[in-house]
Amino acid sequence: MTSAVSRQNRTLFDVLVPYSGIWANIATIIVGSLVIAAFAQLRFSLPWTPVPITGQTFAVLLVAATVGSRRGGLAAALYLFEGSIGLPFWAGGASGVAWSITSGGYIIGFIPAAFLVGFLAERGWDRGPWLLAALVAANALIYVPGVWWLHHELQTLIPGGSTFDNTLELGLWPFIAGDLAKIVLVSLALPAAWSLYDRYDPRARRDRNPDGNP
């Protein structure tokens, strides 16, 4: 059995954490949602757009690529629930209905994005150059409901409505460079973590040599 076969459908979390089962999964989902909430507090506002730049996207992609599709997607869904019921988990400590004004679509987009990148990570995309493509595709899934939601809200906030080009200027173009930087960071972190595991963890040697051969 080769290392590639033994790792099939296994994420970095699966090989590092020796526990499995429903309680381990629940704990992982809760911790994942808290990581997203923590990075949401890294906020920077641009003067010309109501949508802030935050660390949420970085956290969503990193968590999902580390723990997989179901746990990653559920962590993003739990984050949505936590903020919606009033926990101060949105950017800048906001919560409740405040999320729906301009950023609600992006937060909803975290769920399919997390599921996609986790799904691909389970199939080995988190260990090499294909991870970059997975992260770009997942990030695009965040933009789709995010821009649509923002456009809908601007129609009511701006007298006379808003053009779609104006929505893109407020909710898409200013964030591409920052999101690409976050994607690059995640695409470097995960393969590096796998490399460290292969080099230093004795369990990696057992994966490569399950029969104990040298």
Q: What is the pLDDT of residues 136-181, one digit of tens each?
A: 999 999 999 999 999 988 888 777 777 899 999 999 999 999 999 9
- Domain 3-208 CATH assignment equals 3.40.50.150: no
- Using DSSP's 3-state secondary structure scheme, residue 7 falls into coil
Question: Is the predicted pLDDT of residue 87 greater than 80, yes or no?
Answer: yes
pLDDT at 8: 55
Q: Tell me how far apart the alpha carbons of residues 154 and 159 are, in angstroms, rounded to a whole number.
A: 9
Question: Is the predicted pLDDT of residue 208 greater than 70, yes or no?
Answer: no
The domain spans of the chain are: 3-208
Dihedrals phi, psi of 147, to nearest 5 degrees: -70, -40
Question: Is the predicted pLDDT of residue 31 greater than 80, yes or no?
Answer: yes
pLDDT at 59: 97
Higher pLDDT, 205 or 2: 205
Q: What is the pLDDT of residues 69-80, one digit of tens each?
A: 999 999 999 999
